[in-house]
Amino acid sequence: MNIKIILMILLAMAMTYCTFNKYDDLHPKQSINCDTSIVISYAKTIAPLMEKHCNNCHNVNDAATIGGGTFLDNYDDVANNIEDVLKSISGKNYKMPKNGPKLDTCDIYAIQKWMNKKMPL
Ligand code: HEC
């Protein structure tokens, strides 16, 4: 095969790969199947999710040593870090929970929704 054709195929593959990654980030596939009727609040939804998946490391006693200095065990710290939180748990190359399985799509969706609703207590 002609080297130019091979290069073009490789380039096309690289481009589709990037597009899909981005699309996946912006539009989590299963969000449509999540229960959209639940009222999301910090106390009912967000705090329990943090407690279950994040506070082992991101708590007031241990964050400095094993949580990279980020506290996520109270309203203010979660709210102030919300964009980083969402970034860290989203996408194929999610970073958090560190060394753990990715959060369920509906849980990520709930955190997104909480942010969009101006983070109610
Ligand atoms: C096993 C410990 C551990 C768990 C569990 C964990 N983190 Fe982290 N987190 C870290 C460490 C360590 C860092 C410092 C950066 C690094 O090492 O990647 C960090 C950094 C962060 C940061 C700072 C920005 C960044 O991406 O570096 C955010 C935001 C964050 N974590 C959010 C979360 C959320 C949200 C969860 C739960 C879904 C979570 N983390 C669970 C250990 C943890």
Instruction: Record the tokens describing residue 28, joined without a space.
Output: 């989590």
Pocket test for ligand 1, best of 66, 86, 95 (most atoms within 8 A of CB): 95
| pLDDT value, residue 95 | 98
For the cut 90, the answer to whether the pLDDT of residue 4 exceeds it is no
Give the phi and the psi of residue 94 in degrees, each rounded to 5. -55, 145
What pTM was computed for the model?
Answer: 0.81
Residue 103's nearest CA partner among 45, 40, 19, 43 is 45
Q: How many Å apart are CA 48 and CA 73, to the nearest integer?
A: 10
Give the pLDDT mean for 90-116.
97
List the residue whose alpha carbon is closest to atom 8 of ligand 1. Answer: 96
Pocket test for ligand 1, best of 49, 50, 52, 58 (most atoms within 8 A of CB): 58
117 contacts 39 by C-beta, under 8 angstroms: no
Query: Tens digit of pLDDT for each residue in 53-95?
Result: 999 999 999 999 999 999 999 999 999 999 999 999 999 999 9
